[in-house]
Structure 1
Amino acid sequence: MRIISGKFKGRRIFPPKNLPVRPTTDMSKEALFNVLNNHFSFEGLKVLDLFAGTGNISYEFASRGSDNITSVDADFGCVKFIKQVAEEYDFNIAAMRSDVFKFLEKNTNSYDIIFADPPYALDQATFEKIVILIFQQELLREDGMMVIEHSKYTKLDHMDNFSFKKSYGGSIFSFFEIDGNSEEEVKQELDSTEEG
């Protein structure tokens, strides 16, 4: 696993072999951050990383200058490893061991970017619950963006605040924004404006 950009670009990180994780691939991660880079300047962003696993995505934000990152995972080994890496690199990452759904229900903070990479095996309803909880609890800031990584068998296009999706290999990133319009809806709105 390596950091692909920012201050620590190229730095390799070696998580323990026994962690119950499926890290986002470098190719997918690079594509994801290319999209985010078009919407945000990373310095000073407040980021929430759910189902954080090895902390792969959190380190990427930290390397690019985000200095307020919360990483949540239910696995003790994952949280311990994230804390070790954060200390080693002086990343401002608060790693918390918690069930993600309980964390979302109790949390009162809001974030610029929320990233969630649940186990692909979770059912459709569980993925939908993540989206619903985040918007119910108003955890996303007005100009913020939420990204959920999932397999092609999970469909989130129909959810409120869905904006667009990108597919990379076997992974799909679904992007959500407050009052998010799909790219097709945006195109239709532009077309109707031009006609009028």
Structure 2
Amino acid sequence: MRIISGKYKGRRIFPPKNLPVRPTTDMSKESLFNVLNNHFNFEGLKVLDLFSGTGNISFEFASRGSSPITSVDGDFGCVKFIKQIAAEFDFTIAAIKSDVFAFLEKNKTSYDVIFADPPYGLDQKTFEKVVTLVFEKGLLEEDGMLIIEHSKYTKMEHLPHFSFQKSYGGSFFSFFEIASSEEETEEE
């Protein structure tokens, strides 16, 4: 995997082979960040990366100047790897080993961007639970965005706050914003 843009553009990162992950492809990541480029100035963005795996998305945000970044994953090896790379590159990333849902229940911080990449094999209700908790707990800043990466078999467009969706190869990104529900209410 490589960092696409920012201070460390072009740098390759080699995660251990034994991590239980499916990293976001470089092509999908590049497309995702092209979309985010139209919405955000990355400098100083507060980012939460859920089911962070190798830290691929966290490293991309950090290279572009986002800080602070919180990466949450339930696998010790993933968290250890993220901490190692964050120290090596001097990234402001707090890597936390936790069940993502337990973290969302207890967390009191709000973020500009929340990215979640649950394992594709999880059921529909689990994906929906991420969206529900983020909005119920008020974890998104007013102009913030929640992005869920999922397969074509997971449907997200029926959920409150859904804004739009993009697909790249076998990966889908569903975007959620606070304003989406408010706009719908105004139209009714």
Q: Same fold (TM over 0.5)?
A: yes
> TM-score range, shorter-chain basis?
over 0.9
Superposition pairs of residues 1-16 of structure 1, within 5 angstroms: 1-16=1-16
Residues 47 and 112 in structure 1, CA contact (< 8 A), matched pair in contact too? yes
C-alpha distance in 1 between matches for 2:145 and 2:127: 17
C-alpha distance in 2 between matches for 1:109 and 1:167: 30
Deviation >3 Å, runs of 4+: none
Residues 160 and 179 in structure 1, CA contact (< 8 A), matched pair in contact too? no
* Aligned-partner residue type, residue 136 of structure 2: Q
Task: State the identity as a percent.
Answer: 79
Q: Partner of 1:63 in structure 2?
A: 63
Superposition pairs of residues 142-153 of structure 1, within 5 angstroms: 142-153=142-153
C-alpha distance in 2 between matches for 1:125 and 1:50: 16
Q: C-alpha displacement at 1:128, in angstroms?
A: 0.4
Q: Partner of 2:40 in structure 1?
A: 40
Structure 2: which 5+ runs fail to align? Answer: none
TM-score for both structures, normalised by structure 1: 0.92
Residues 162 and 175 in structure 1, CA contact (< 8 A), matched pair in contact too? yes
Structure 1: which 5+ runs fail to align? Answer: 190-196
C-alpha distance in 1 between matches for 2:77 and 2:5: 26
**Structure with the greater alpha carbon radius of gyration:** 1
1:90-136 CA distances to partner (integer Å, 9 max, x unpaired)? 00000000000000000000000000000000000000001000000
RMSD between superposed Cα atoms in Å: 1.2
C-alpha distance in 1 between matches for 2:58 and 2:179: 26
C-alpha distance in 2 between matches for 1:151 and 1:19: 20
1:1-54 CA distances to partner (integer Å, 9 max, x unpaired)? 100110100000000000000000000000000000000000000000000000
TM-score for both structures, normalised by structure 2: 0.96
Whether 1:178 aligns to 2:178 is yes
Superposition pairs of residues 45-194 of structure 1, within 5 angstroms: 45-180=45-180
